[in-house]
Amino acid sequence: MELKDFIVDFADQFDETDISVIKADTEFHNLDEWSSLVAMGVIAFIKTEYGKTITGKKLCDSGRFVQFSSREINIMEAFNPFSLKKKSILVTGASSGIGKEIAVACSKMGANVFITARREKLLRETLSLMKGEQKNMFPVDLTSEEEIFQLSTLLPKLDGVVHCAGIGYSKLCRQVQSLDIEKVFSVNFNAPVLLQAQLLKQKKMNKSSSIVFIVSNATSTANIGNSIYCASKGALLAYANCLKLEVAPRLIRVNCISPGMVRTSLITHEGLDEDNFKEDESHYLFKRYGNPEDISGLALYLLSDASSWMTGQNIEISGGCPKL
């Protein structure tokens, strides 16, 4: 690992300090923004990114980057199977919720991240939170086959895809009409299936890449009024189970994540208030709904080389959600 690369990563730990003021001989203790909190962040960053523990004393004794010997820097290049450096990752539904969190997390792990969603303003907010310079956004309506084709044409070869775009929907079985089915399936099933078809057709998936579908534990947990949503996610799960067979010859992995209730706009749009949430959360073993960051870690694992022998799995992550 070169010193300049480490300095770039180090500079990302500061919110306001411009990278141009940080040089190899900079006494970082003298930076205006340096504090015990930043020091803790640096220690955590080195542990997460390079798998090595640097003590506060070591950090204080060093003072300048040039005082990290080449041996110390090489130690930081330690084995990290969860790194996404040099990987190109596409995340759909990245304007909010789980997709947004996964996109940001991928950028922090060094990936070249491509994000897409319909709402350009929110997509730009996600982009602003992402680390590094290798980040790109494409405002696209994935219910349009033409826009799917155009997006696939613009994308480079990919090492990973996270299909996260989706909508929630509630209606009693006796009230369901064809328009309801079309509305939900066009986003939750048709969009990821048709996008993935184009990525394969245009040869945009690298050998040994990873495909991740965000499904739902609703496929195995019955709820009144949730039939169309459950069916759309169940169909996606069945599709993924077939896809794994077709792409296996190129060592491409296909896995699904099935979250329980996660606090995103997907559930708040259902008209539930905080009292409803608290009552339902009391039935969970961990006494709370999930947060988007609870899901992103699993996505990082499935995108990384750490999961290179894992395919065809549907992993539920639900904080001990009760089965009904």
146-196 tens-digit pLDDT: 999 999 999 999 999 999 999 988 899 999 999 999 999 999 999 999 999
User: Residue 284 — left, alpha, or beta (φ > 0 → left; ψ -120 to 50 → alpha)?
Assistant: beta
The residue-averaged pLDDT of 273-301 equals 86
pLDDT exceeds cutoff 50 at 66: no
pLDDT exceeds cutoff 80 at 143: yes
Of residues 26 and 293, more confidently modeled? 293
Beta bridge partners of 160: 89, 210
Check residue 225 and report its DSSP letter.
Answer: T
Supply 68's token pair: 């990290």
Q: What digits encode the pLDDT tens for the residues 304-322? A: 999 999 999 999 998 887 7
pLDDT for the residue 58: 65
Domains of the chain: 3-76 (1.10.1200), 88-317 (3.40.50.720)
Q: Per 3-state DSSP, what percentage of the chain is helix, strand, and coil (rounded to 5)? A: 50, 15, 35
pLDDT for the residue 153: 98
pLDDT exceeds cutoff 50 at 75: no
Collapsing DSSP to helix, strand or coil, 3 comes out as: helix
Q: What is the rounded distance in angstroms from the CA atom of residue 263 to the CA atom of residue 247?
A: 33
